[in-house]
């Protein structure tokens, strides 16, 4: 009797789990992203990675600990492995989705000159850099029509500093025949306010760029939930 009771309980649990997955998929297929909560969207991803496990609690835990879905997907593998059930399959799926989102964002920024497509550029920069745990310095190289030639990392540092070498930026600009630049770096602290070092480096790079007839359009600092434009606050 005990064996039969255990088997019945297992079957009911499996049936409930299957029903929950089907209902959530149906709600998403009908209403899209507006019809689901962030933890439910993460559940939908985890359904594929962990087809035989109840992932509801795991999705809640990840969203709670990291803050939002973007932070979960961009988290370091070492951080993710600390959670029971998160292994190579889950991490690979997360990183594929993160890469796909970045690729879509980058494609959108290339459709039109960036100065006419500023919101798409900001969205792309947020997705690429807002969740980084150390400072990264990127340069977006533009042609004469202000369309993107390349977005390249030109520096990587610590939680509150990254070395930037203006001459290396200029060397790469000339190699790419760039006519204009947009500088982008993140502040892992979450506060996008420019430091004195940020301001001084930007002015040095602007002066050097002008000597090569290259325009520095802006310097964006990406924080956790906000960003600062040097141009908008009068620093360029």
Give the domain range for residue 80. 2-101
Q: Do residues 89 and 132 both lie within one domain?
A: no
Q: Give the C-alpha separation, 152 to 60, whole Å.
A: 35
Closest CA to 89 of 80, 102, 99: 80
Question: Which residues of the chain have a pLDDT value below 50?
Answer: 1-2, 9-10, 16
Name the token pair of 57.
Answer: 């609690």
Q: Do residues 160 and 73 both lie within one domain?
A: no
Q: Do residues 97 and 139 both lie within one domain?
A: no
Q: Do residues 82 and 135 both lie within one domain?
A: no
DSSP-derived letter for residue 5 is H
Q: Give the C-alpha separation, 107 to 121, whole Å.
A: 10
Q: What is the pLDDT of residues 71-130, one digit of tens each?
A: 899 888 999 999 998 999 999 999 999 888 878 877 777 656 777 888 888 888 888 888
């Amino acid at each position: 009797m005990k064996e039969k009771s255990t088997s019945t309980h297992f079957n009911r649990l499996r049936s409930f789990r299957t029903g929950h997955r089907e209902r959530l998929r149906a709600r998403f297929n009908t209403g899209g992203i507006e019809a689901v909560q962030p933890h439910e969207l993460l559940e939908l991803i985890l359904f594929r990675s962990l087809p035989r496990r109840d992932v509801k609690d795991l999705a809640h835990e990840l969203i709670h600990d990291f803050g939002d879905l973007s932070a979960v997907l961009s988290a370091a593998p070492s951080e993710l492995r600390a959670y029971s059930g998160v292994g190579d399959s889950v991490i690979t799926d997360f990183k594929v989705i993160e890469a796909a989102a970045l690729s879509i964002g980058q494609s959108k920024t290339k459709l039109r000159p960036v100065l006419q497509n500023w919101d798409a550029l900001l969205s792309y920069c947020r997705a690429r850099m807002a969740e980084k745990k150390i400072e990264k310095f990127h340069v977006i190289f533009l042609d004469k029509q202000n369309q993107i030639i390349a977005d390249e990392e030109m520096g990587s540092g610590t939680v509150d500093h990254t070395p930037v070498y203006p001459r290396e930026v200029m060397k790469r600009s000339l190699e790419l025949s760039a006519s204009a630049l947009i500088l982008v770096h993140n502040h892992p602290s979450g506060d996008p306010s420019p430091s004195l070092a940020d301001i001084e480096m930007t002015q040095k790079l602007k002066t050097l760029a002008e000597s090569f007839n290259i325009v520095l359009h802006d310097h964006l600092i990406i924080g956790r939930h906000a960003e600062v434009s040097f141009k908008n606050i009068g620093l360029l």
